[in-house]
Amino acid sequence: MEQKILLPTDSSLPALVATIEAVKMAKERKAKLIILTVIESTPSTEIEQQAGNVTLKRCPDIDGMAFARELAKQEGVPYDEVVREGPVSGEIINVSNAMGVQTIVMGSSAPSGLAGLYLGDVAKSVAKHAKCEVLTINPTKEQGREALMLARRIDGKKKPKTVESITSTKQFKVGLVLFAVYVAFYALLMILGAFERGVMSERLLGLNVGLVLGFAAIILAIVMAVVFNWYAIKMEKAQEA
pLDDT at 52: 41
**Considering the entire predicted model, what is its pTM?**
0.58
pLDDT at 57: 56
pLDDT at 12: 86
The DSSP secondary-structure symbol of 102 reads S
What are the mean pLDDT values of the chain's consecutive 10-residue runs (241 residues total)? 90 90 96 92 48 51 88 95 91 94 86 38 86 90 88 64 62 85 86 78 74 85 87 68 46
Question: Which residues are CB-contacts of 178 (< 8 A; sequence separation ≥ 6)?
Answer: 224, 227, 228
The amino acid present at 176, given as its one-letter code, is: L
The candidate with the shortest Cα–Cα distance to 95, out of 171, 9, 173, is: 9
**pLDDT of 18-41, one tens digit each?**
999 999 999 999 999 999 999 876
DSSP 177-226: HHHHHHHHHHHHHHHHHHH-HHHHTSEETTEEHHHHHHHHHHHHHHHHHH
* 84, β-bridge pairs: 38
pLDDT at 62: 83
